[in-house]
Amino acid sequence: MMSSLGGSEKMATIFFCIVLFLATSVSSASLKVGFYKSSCPSAEMIVRKAVNKAVSKNPGLAAGLIRMHFHDCFVRGCDASVLLDSTPGNPSEKESPVNNPSLRGFEVIDEAKAEIEAQCPQIVSCADVLAFAARDSAYKVGGINYAVPSGRRDGRVSLKDEPSLHLPPPFFNAKQLEENFARKGLSLDEMVTLSGAHSIGVSHCSSFSNRLYSFNATHPQDPSMDPEFARYLKTKCPPSSNTGSDPTVPLEFRTPNRLDSKYYKDLKNHRGLLTSDQTLFDSPSTKRMVKNNARYGANWGNKYAAAMVRMGAIDVLTGTKGEIRKHCRVVNYR
């Protein structure tokens, strides 16, 4: 998976192969690596080219595409419901405050799907295009590559109210996060591993400003946050009463466009941006996992790949269920 491996990294790669085998054989039994090998052999390359072009111009889109896949899979399973536009009287998942205005990268999916449709009409699902794009984003900005089992089909329902019922908010503690991921069949370690995607991307100040100004009655500022870090954040995020805007800051400041394990090092230094980030180090159930991920970056990358494969198999539609959309933003007319 990665070149120039040392002894410990070779062991990590062997471990990853075993985990990936288990993940694909247990969770993705209805999906298959190389699903389009005969029916549309260029599908994955088309997606990778579209992602590489877009992320080269705007590195932030890598985080957007990974997050979009996560938001898709946790709501109705990995069925591309997050890609559907609203229709009269039916606002879609895109309109949820959880997704709007933070999700981005829809145009990358549209471009890849359009080229695939030109070559292989109604063969490749939008759900698979999104899963490929999330993988290709991780490879582009983190060197993390993995085989994506495919064969997902697209759902026909997308409801505005559902994302907030299924996606973990930024104020969750470790126990709440564990329970949220467990409902989707993911383990505590997979939750901590996938949280490492916060190594890239940005957050709106409103998602963590309570930690700066109104933490609790005793401490206006969250005492678990490094004071110097808090002072810096206040220069970027003034009190909400002073402005109508909601600025963004990087989720991880040292390498904001590189998917790596520095996120976990920041948690050790009490520089996690969101409550749901810092809680992973502050909680006894996850602290050791954070320390191990911070120390063994290559192993974290392998675990991340395996966890993404597992996440990508949540409640998938296969066989004759769902459909293969012609356009990812709208269901097919019947």
Strand partners, 250: 202
219 is catalytic: no
Type of residue at 92: S
Joined tokens for residue 116: 């695939």
- Of the residues 69, 71, 198, 270, which is catalytic? 71
Residues 6+ away with beta carbon under 8 Å from 300? 193, 196, 261, 264, 292, 293
* Spatial CA neighbour of 240 closest among 211, 202, 216: 211
CA of 319: how far to CAs of 103, 150, 322, 323, in Å? 29, 12, 8, 9
d(CA 220, CA 207): 16
Residues recognised as catalytic? 71
